[in-house]
Structure 1
């Protein structure tokens, strides 16, 4: 049974017509960077809830969530229309396995994401512990259009403070040939044809790499299957350490 706290909306950021972030204040239990919680609203006398990752690090006094407005969704259109000081339900306890305590130290940490799946990585990168645990962190973010990279300015600030440990690689699936520093296509294909690693200048292997996957379930499945079959990587489990960790929300 979910234990709920009532939060208050402090700020809303509208990035595009379909992407927005809400910032709220509430009393909840401690969480780890990379985890997610549940948000809910009372709609037609029924509590509608969905899982969303924290964008903020655990030490923040307010909590931020990055959301895609699904036109026919049961919750996101209502979240999109919230106003400052509106009330919202948030679960007191958080969940999720995308936390650094579950990942052994290694040379290179690959964070692969699509869309709002970048959320848990933003929380981890702002927590700073990651830069003590890995030599390089490669954030790969796949979006349709460059305008969809809502948190690019935040990541550039983190990158400046990371002592050259953070590499950011953007992948676009719609805008083609607008910037030579951007890759075009889909994450699994760009790993298979070697273009992603060539662009980044690092290789994914089972000796010095850990790959974290978050976002589209098909991206997760295809990428994990390829890395297991062709790079000898294995899924990271509670009872058996591996080098692929993934989180699925749907």
Structure 2
């Protein structure tokens, strides 16, 4: 089902990357889930999924999007101004949630978030809740982008570092220009070389780690391969493991 949402705030990260806060009557969701935004064009509904960036309990939903030149919906989203309307799915969906992570002895003390681009959204939603900080001794966010200007939500991430100084480890990766605030490798390469573990000061292995991966399919495939080589296995409901994945397109 669909409801009409109203844009109440915009954040411009760069000329193509932006966030929208949308006031809409949607059902309660779990941090990490996605909703769909849509428009009717030529009597046909064009709908795309976007992860909710804000935590549950707000009276709006926030999405992070990038305008793709030949995209069917994203250029229209970028053109929205405060007060404009957009159709929003009333119910969120998706299994990239902390509910899917094993508990007890199978959990381990460390949680790793591996994200590229706009796929950082569901992890920000989770980190703005109490659950990861209550369940894990360390939370490591590895956030890969091409350019420095593509790093969205840096002020919010810095605030999380200040709030959880001994728990939160933030490792930004910028692949196409020098960045003194982080590393310059791709996520899979950082896993294989060990530089991510070295930078975090946290070992990544089957006994102490849970890893959630969200982003482009190539990164996901290569990152899973690197993690499997380290002895980690995919997390399934029927067979709990350490790797939880959601493809972002």
Scaled by the length of structure 1, what TM-score is found? 0.95
SS of equivalent to 2:128: helix
SS of equivalent to 2:157: helix
Distance 1:93 1:207 in 2: 36
Q: What displacement does 1:43 show?
A: 2.3
Q: What displacement does 1:159 show?
A: 1.7
Q: What displacement does 1:212 show?
A: 0.6
Matched, 1:128 2:130: yes
Distance 2:9 2:49 in 1: 19
Distance 1:193 1:106 in 2: 23
- Deviation sequence 1:15-74 (CA, Å, 0-9, x none): 101100111011111100011111111223321100000000001111100001101100
Unaligned ranges ≥5, structure 2 = none
Query: Which has the larger displacement, 128-137 or 189-198?
Result: 189-198
Distance 1:45 1:17 in 2: 30
Q: Which residue of 2 aligns with 1:86?
A: 84
Q: Which residue of 2 aligns with 1:243?
A: 242
Distance 1:90 1:203 in 2: 41
Question: What is the aligned length?
Answer: 245
Which residue of 172, 190, 196 maps to 1:170?
172
Q: CA RMSD in A?
A: 1.1
Q: Which residue of 2 aligns with 1:199?
A: 199
Distance 2:215 2:165 in 1: 28
SS of equivalent to 1:236: coil
Scaled by the length of structure 2, what TM-score is found? 0.95
Which residue of 28, 33, 37 maps to 1:30?
28
Distance 1:58 1:101 in 2: 14
Contact 2:5 2:87 in 1 (8 A): yes
Query: Which has the larger displacement, 142-151 or 69-78?
Result: 142-151
Which residue of 107, 110, 135 maps to 2:109?
107
Contact 1:106 1:133 in 2 (8 A): no
Distance 1:208 1:124 in 2: 20
SS of equivalent to 1:39: strand
Q: What displacement does 1:14 show?
A: 1.3
